[in-house]
C-alpha cells in the first residue's frame, strides 16, 4: 500500500487539456511526491518475476510516442467503436508486459488518485527499465496527458517494419526532428530483449526476394539463426537481440560491426554509410552511447500534439467508459 495522509486532500476530478503543456522535471513533486519511487519499485518487482519484462516495457514508449505523440494511446484496449494501436501490424503478437503498466497505475492510484498520467508512466518506466538493466539513469520531464482515443491506422502508417532499411528509418526519424545520431542511439534500445523468428525469416531464406539469406549476416551467426528459426518453425519463437540481452550496454553495436544483428532494421545501420560511423563510435565507447541514448530519449519524450487529454484512472480505458463494454481479443 502506498497511501499517504495528504492524498485525501487531492481533487479526484478528471483533468482535461486541449493544448500540450510544457513538460518539466519534478512535475509531481507536490501532487504525488512518491510517484517516481512507486514506478521504480514496481519495475524492480517485475524484473525479479521476469527479467525480459524490462525490455518489453521500454519498447512501449517508442511505440507510443511515434504515434500522435507520447499520450498513452498505445495502452487503450479496443472498444466496440475503436480499433486501437495494439492491433497495429508492428504491435500485435509483439508488444507485451502491459500488465506491468497496470500494476504501476494501480499503485499510483492508491497513493495519488487521478494524478499521474499513463503517458508519464510509460516514460518513467522506460527510464527505469534502462537503469535497472545496467544502463544510464536520467531525469525525465513530466506533465503529459492521456489521449481520449487511439488508432490502428495511425500506427500502421508510422511504425517501421523489421525489414526497414537505414534510409527509410532516417526519413521516419527526420519527421520527428530526430537526427541520424538519434536514430542510431535509440536503436540501441535493442541492447536488451528478444525478437520473434517472424521478424527475420525473410533475412534467412529470401532476402529481397532473392531466395537466399542476407549476405550481411556473419556466417556462423547465420547458422545459429537457422537452428533457432528453421523453415516451418513456430514464428513466435524468440531469440536475443544481442549477445547480452539482459544487460543494457554497447554490445549491440559490437554485434552490428561483426554482422551479428538480429533484425534487418538493426544490421542496416552498419551497412549504410550514413549510419555506420555512429555504430562504430558507440561500439568502441559505451559512455558516448549512453550519453547519446539519453539525449535521444529526452527528445523523443517531448513529442506531443495538441489534442484533448485527461488523466486516466485505468490505462486501458478512457475515463467514463464502463470496462464491461470493451471487446476482448
Q: What is the mean pLDDT of residues 286-307?
A: 96
Structure confidence at residue 321 (pLDDT): 67
State the average pLDDT for the chain: 90
Q: What is the mean pLDDT of residues 107-120?
A: 98
Residue 124's pLDDT band (cuts 50, 70, 90):
very high
Pairing label, strands 238-240, 194-196? antiparallel
Structure confidence at residue 20 (pLDDT): 55
User: Of 40, 63, 145, 222, which is the active-site residue?
Assistant: 63
Residue 320's pLDDT band (cuts 50, 70, 90):
confident
Structure confidence at residue 21 (pLDDT): 67
Structure confidence at residue 314 (pLDDT): 97
What secondary structure does DSSP assign to 270-317, as a single string?
HHSTTTHHHHHHHHH-HHHHHHHHHHHHHHHHT------BB--SBTTB
Return binding residues for substrate. Answer: 160
Let me know if 99 is a catalytic residue.
Answer: no
pLDDT digits (tens, 9 = 90+) for 248-289: 999 999 999 999 999 999 999 999 999 999 999 999 999 999
Task: Please determine, for residue 10, whether its predicted confidence score (pLDDT) is greater than 70.
Answer: no
**Homologous superfamily (CATH) for 166-300:** Peroxidase, domain 2 (1.10.420.10)
Q: Which residues contact 190 (CB under 8 A, 6 or more apart)?
A: 241, 242, 252, 262, 263, 266
For cell 517501421, what's the residue? 160
Return binding residues for heme b. Answer: 190
Task: Please determine, for residue 324, whether its predicted confidence score (pLDDT) is greater than 80.
Answer: no
pLDDT digits (tens, 9 = 90+) for 62-111: 999 999 999 999 999 999 999 999 989 888 888 899 999 999 999 999 99
Provide the β-strand partners of residue 317. Answer: 314
Task: Please determine, for residue 305, whether its predicted confidence score (pLDDT) is greater than 70.
Answer: yes
What class does CATH assign to 34-158+303-310? mainly alpha
pLDDT digits (tens, 9 = 90+) for 19-73: 456 899 999 999 999 999 999 999 999 999 999 999 999 999 999 999 999 999 9
On whether the CB atoms of residues 101 and 57 are closer than 8 A, the answer is: yes
Return binding residues for Ca(2+). Answer: 64, 67, 69, 71, 73, 85, 242, 244, 249
* % pLDDT > 70, the chain: 91
Residue 18's pLDDT band (cuts 50, 70, 90):
very low
Residue 16's pLDDT band (cuts 50, 70, 90):
very low
List % helix, strand, coil for the chain (3-state, nearest 5). 50, 5, 45
On whether the CB atoms of residues 70 and 176 are closer than 8 A, the answer is: no
Structure confidence at residue 14 (pLDDT): 32
* 286 vs 292: CA distance, rounded Å: 10
Q: Which cell is 233 given?
A: 518453425
Three-state DSSP state, 42: helix
**The domains spanning 34-158+303-310 and 166-300 adopt the same CATH topology:** no
Task: Please determine, for residue 246, whether its predicted confidence score (pLDDT) is greater than 80.
Answer: yes
Domain boundaries, the chain: 34-158+303-310, 166-300
Amino acid at each position: 500500500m502506498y497511501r499517504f495522509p495528504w492524498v485525501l486532500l487531492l481533487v479526484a476530478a478528471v483533468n482535461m487539456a486541449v493544448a500540450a503543456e510544457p513538460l518539466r522535471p519534478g512535475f509531481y513533486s507536490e501532487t504525488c511526491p512518491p510517484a517516481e519511487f512507486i514506478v521504480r519499485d514496481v519495475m524492480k518487482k517485475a524484473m525479479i518475476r521476469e527479467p525480459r519484462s524490462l525490455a518489453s516495457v521500454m519498447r512501449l514508449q517508442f511505440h507510443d510516442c511515434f504515434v500522435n505523440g507520447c499520450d498513452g494511446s498505445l495502452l487503450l484496449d479496443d472498444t466496440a467503436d475503436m480499433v486501437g494501436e495494439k492491433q497495429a501490424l508492428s504491435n500485435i503478437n509483439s508488444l507485451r508486459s502491459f500488465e506491468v503498466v497496470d500494476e504501476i497505475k494501480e499503485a499510483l492510484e492508491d497513493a495519488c488518485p487521478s494524478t499521474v498520467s499513463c503517458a508519464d508512466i510509460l516514460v518513467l518506466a522506460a527510464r527505469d527499465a534502462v537503469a535497472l538493466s545496467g544502463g544510464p539513469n536520467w531525469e525525465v520531464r513530466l506533465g503529459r496527458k492521456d489521449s481520449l482515443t487511439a488508432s490502428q491506422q495511425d500506427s500502421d502508417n508510422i511504425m517501421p517494419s523489421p525489414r526497414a532499411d537505414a534510409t527509410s528509418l532516417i526519413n521516419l526519424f527526420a519527421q520527428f526532428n530526430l537526427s541520424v545520431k538519434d536514430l542510431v542511439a535509440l536503436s540501441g534500445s535493442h541492447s536488451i530483449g528478444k525478437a520473434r523468428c517472424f521478424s527475420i525469416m525473410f533475412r534467412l531464406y529470401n532476402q529481397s526476394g532473392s531466395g537466399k539469406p542476407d549476405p550481411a549476416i556473419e556466417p556462423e551467426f547465420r547458422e545459429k539463426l537457422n537452428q533457432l528459426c528453421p523453415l516451418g518453425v513456430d514464428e513466435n519463437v524468440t531469440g536475443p537481440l544481442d549477445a547480452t540481452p539482459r544487460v543494457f550496454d554497447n554490445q549491440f553495436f559490437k554485434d552490428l560491426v561483426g554482422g551479428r544483428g538480429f533484425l534487418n532494421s538493426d544490421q542496416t545501420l552498419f551497412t549504410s554509410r550514413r549510419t555506420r560511423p555512429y555504430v562504430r563510435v558507440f561500439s568502441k565507447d559505451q559512455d558516448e552511447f549512453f550519453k547519446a541514448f539519453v539525449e535521444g530519449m529526452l527528445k523523443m519524450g517531448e513529442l506531443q500534439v495538441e489534442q484533448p487529454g485527461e488523466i486516466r484512472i485505468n490505462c486501458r480505458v478512457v475515463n467514463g467508459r464502463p470496462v464491461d463494454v470493451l471487446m476482448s481479443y
